[in-house]
């Protein structure tokens, strides 16, 4: 399969959108374009319907939950504070960071907080990596994925607070809502009562739902989970070698738990089915949701991620003396005779040098850029086990407002679709009182990634006809499509299959001055936005800890920081 990504759009009403060929990894790639910095050209947030018209919002949001008392939130806050309160360096390090997804942005942000100068390079003309988004000719945004911010994301939640943008998260009702495949158009809810602490609120939500699992199935499921509750993190990590299906069989959990719950969870967490997903992934999520009262509570960002989340991070980095460059693709990692990094060569011929180097690109990109003499080293050779999973994000604008939806994330429980939301209701910037815009995650996508956009839309409409039987039909005899966008990502987050955990690298590499950041690196939140942000903090921490060593290395071999070829 070609490693080329693709974003395309078609308007059945007559407007044709230019097909865009994008890099194949929906994250912060580092493989090429002239060095320039057009970040300031990003427009401010505005209504997407008519230029100049006021943005009116009628969706109901809930107050921000009280996260500050959670142990994980407090630990994350202390971690963040350590960068600001630590001993300030006499002379800050210049650190070259390749990749402006959340991992790279996080690395650069916390290095800047610690008094160093990050030089952040992004291959594409858009910030965000896996949370990138683009604006079409009508002013409507379409995104790489459907991004949900959980209460159980302590480092992400702290990041919003540190940037002063907590109000950009639109918190929803504390519920999980699942479609009922055998009852088209109907949904089943797990409602978490606010008056109960964790884990009682989660247990109550499960016990009160009698539509998806019977009482005997709930009891067997609970018994199966007992070892995880008693064994804690050690037990969770020990399940890395089992798929979800294998773990269920070993624990005597009924197959219907898989059909009713785990298929939806697996597809939402890693875009694959339970017969492939490592049980460790499921247990980590359940552990957070059951241990933290607001862990499973969800929020949507109030607009497009590049402007509403990434730009505040960039502004913060620049305010502290750091630099951010778009269209700056790393073509080669050039080495010294001892195997350490001499410089990054960009595709435009520019040479970038620093006191330290960070690769914050996806693992698939990193593997393409690895120097030959590094590939046999265990630290890098283990990366072959880590492979990005394909996923497709679909946006459909309809000619009317759909009624059978919620102001929330919905689990479709469809064989083709994972989760979806009516973004015209859930998101302030995308609000529209007259038309619905459904954003849907099409997963697993390995059999569909090479299909045409029209084939993907046709298949999506057939599934939507089951979710909206009174409003949508596959032949569009009911609601009609005004336009759509299909965003294909052949290699997204790493595929969390069994036995990946030993292959995930620490952020500090065996080579002095070279570091890694990304959700695939060693951190406890696996492949997620929280994992990406935490990996960046861990990477920045390693560099700060290595300050004396890096200064001595730079003084021993002084070199100009940038050479224009």
**Residue boundaries of the structural domains of the chain:** 199-291
- The predicted pLDDT at position 246 comes to 97
Of the listed ranges 43-47, 80-84, 284-288, the least confidently predicted one is: 43-47
The separation between the first and the last C-alpha atoms of the chain, rounded to the nearest angstrom, is 34
Chain segment 157-210, per-residue pLDDT in tens = 999 999 999 999 999 999 999 999 999 999 999 999 999 999 999 999 999 999
Task: Answer whether residue 396 shows pLDDT above 50.
Answer: yes
Report the percent of the chain where pLDDT is more than 90: 83
What per-residue confidence (pLDDT) applies to 59? 52
- Does residue 32 have a pLDDT over 90? no
- Is residue 25's pLDDT more than 80? no
Q: What is the pLDDT of residues 310-322, one digit of tens each?
A: 999 999 999 999 9
Report the pLDDT averaged over residues 7-11.
40
Q: Where does the pLDDT of residue 231 fall: very low under 50, low under 70, confident under 90, or very high at 90 and above?
A: confident
pLDDT at 36 over 70: no
Q: Which residue has the tokens 């954003």?
A: 439
CB 75 within 8 A of CB 6: no
pLDDT band at 230 (very low <50, low <70, confident <90, very high): confident
- Taken in order 249, 254, 257, 263, is the CA torsion positive or negative? positive
- β-bridge mates for residue 98, sequence order: 121, 359
Question: What pLDDT score was predicted for residue 556?
Answer: 81
Q: What does the pLDDT average to over 479-500?
A: 98
pLDDT tops 70 at residue 406: yes
Q: What are phi and psi of 228, to 5 degrees?
A: -70, -40
Helix (H, G, I), strand (E, B) or coil at 339: coil
Task: Report, as an integer, the average pLDDT of 317-334.
Answer: 98
State the number of CA atoms in the 13 A half-sphere of 452 facing the CB: 4
pLDDT of residue 50: 40
Lowest mean pLDDT among 214-223, 382-391, 488-497: 214-223
CA atoms within 13 A on the CB side of 306: 26
On whether the CB atoms of residues 499 and 241 are closer than 8 A, the answer is yes
pLDDT, one tens digit per residue, over 106-152 is 999 999 999 999 999 999 999 999 999 999 999 999 999 999 999 99
Alpha helices in 38-185 (DSSP H): 71-85, 102-113, 154-163
Q: Please tell me the distance from the alpha carbon of residue 139 to that of residue 182, in angstroms, as a whole number.
A: 38
Q: What is the pLDDT of residue 196?
A: 96
Of the pLDDT bands very low, low, confident and very high (cuts 50, 70, 90), residue 529 is: very high
Contact 306, 102 (CB under 8 A): no
**23 has pLDDT over 60:** no
Average pLDDT of the chain to the nearest whole number: 90
Whether 331 has a pLDDT exceeding 70, the answer reads yes
CB-hemisphere CA count at 13 Å for 343? Answer: 17
Residue 484 has pLDDT above 60, yes or no: yes
Percent of the residues in the chain that have a pLDDT greater than 70, as a whole number: 88
Q: Report the pLDDT value the prediction gives residue 233, as an integer from 0 to 100.
A: 84
The DSSP line for 425-461 is HH-STT--SS--EEEEEE-S-TTTTTS-HHHHHHHHH
Q: What is the DSSP string of 463-502?
A: HHHHHSTTT--TTSSSS-EEEEEEEEESS-SB---TT-GG
CA distance 100 to 113: 17
12-16, 157-161, 223-227, 293-297: which range is least confident on average? 12-16
């Amino acid at each position: 399969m070609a490693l080329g990504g693709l974003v395309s759009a078609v308007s059945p009403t007559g407007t044709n959108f230019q097909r865009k060929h994008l890099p194949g990894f929906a994250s912060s790639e580092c493989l090429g374009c002239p060095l320039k910095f057009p970040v300031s050209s990003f427009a401010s947030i505005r209504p997407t319907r008519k230029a100049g018209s006021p943005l009116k919002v009628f969706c109901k949001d809930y107050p921000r939950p009280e996260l500050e008392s959670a142990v994980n939130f407090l630990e994350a806050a202390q971690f963040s504070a350590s960068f600001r309160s630590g001993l300030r360096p006499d002379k800050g390090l210049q650190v070259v960071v390749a990749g402006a997804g959340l991992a790279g942005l996080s690395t650069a942000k916390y290095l800047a907080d610690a008094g160093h100068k990050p030089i952040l390079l992004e291959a594409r003309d858009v910030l965000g990596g896996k949370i990138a988004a683009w604006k079409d000719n009508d002013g409507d945004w379409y995104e790489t994925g459907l991004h949900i911010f959980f209460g159980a994301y302590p480092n992400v939640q702290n990041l919003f607070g540190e940037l002063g943008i907590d109000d950009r998260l639109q918190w929803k009702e504390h519920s999980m809502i699942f479609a009922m495949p055998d009852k088209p158009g109907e949904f089943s809810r797990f409602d978490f009562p606010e008056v109960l602490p964790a884990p009682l609120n989660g247990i109550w939500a499960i016990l009160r739902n009698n539509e998806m699992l019977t009482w005997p199935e709930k009891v067997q499921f609970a018994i199966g989970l007992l070892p995880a509750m008693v064994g804690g993190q050690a037990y969770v990590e020990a399940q890395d070698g089992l798929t979800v299906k294998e773990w269920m069989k070993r624990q005597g959990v009924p197959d219907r738990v898989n059909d009713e719950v785990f298929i939806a969870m697996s597809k939402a967490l890693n875009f694959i089915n339970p017969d492939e997903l490592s049980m460790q992934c499921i247990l980590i999520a359940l552990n957070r949701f059951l241990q933290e009262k607001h862990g499973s509570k969800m929020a949507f960002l109030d607009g497009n991620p590049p402007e509403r989340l990434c730009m505040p991070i960039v502004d913060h980095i620049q305010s502290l003396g750091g630099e951010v460059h778009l269209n700056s693709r790393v073509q080669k990692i050039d080495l010294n005779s001892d195997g350490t990094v001499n410089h990054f060569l960009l595709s435009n011929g520019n040479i970038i040098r620093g006191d330290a180097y960070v690769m914050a690109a996806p693992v698939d990109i990193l593997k393409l850029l690895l120097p030959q003499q590094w590939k046999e080293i265990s630290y890098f050779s283990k990366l072959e086990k880590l492979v990005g999973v394909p996923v497709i994000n679909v946006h459909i604008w309809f000619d009317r407002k759909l009624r059978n939806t919620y102001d929330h994330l919905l689990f479709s429980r469809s064989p083709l679709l994972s989760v979806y939301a009516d973004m015209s209701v859930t998101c302030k910037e995308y609000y529209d009182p007259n038309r619905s815009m459904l954003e849907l995650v099409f997963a697993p996508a390995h059999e569909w990634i090479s299909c045409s956009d029209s084939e993907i839309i046709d298949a999506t409409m057939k599934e939507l006809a089951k979710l909206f039987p009174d409003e949508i039909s596959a032949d569009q005899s009911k609601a009609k499509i005004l336009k759509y966008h299909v965003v294909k990502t052949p290699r997204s987050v790493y595929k969390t299959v069994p036995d990946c955990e030993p292959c995930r690298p620490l952020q500090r590499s065996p080579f002095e001055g070279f570091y890694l950041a990304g959700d695939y690196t060693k951190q406890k939140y696996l492949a997620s936005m929280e994992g990406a942000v935490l990996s960046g903090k861990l990477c920045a921490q390693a560099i700060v800890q290595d300050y004396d060593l890096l200064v001595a290395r730079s003084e021993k071999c002084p070199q100009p920081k940038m050479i224009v070829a």
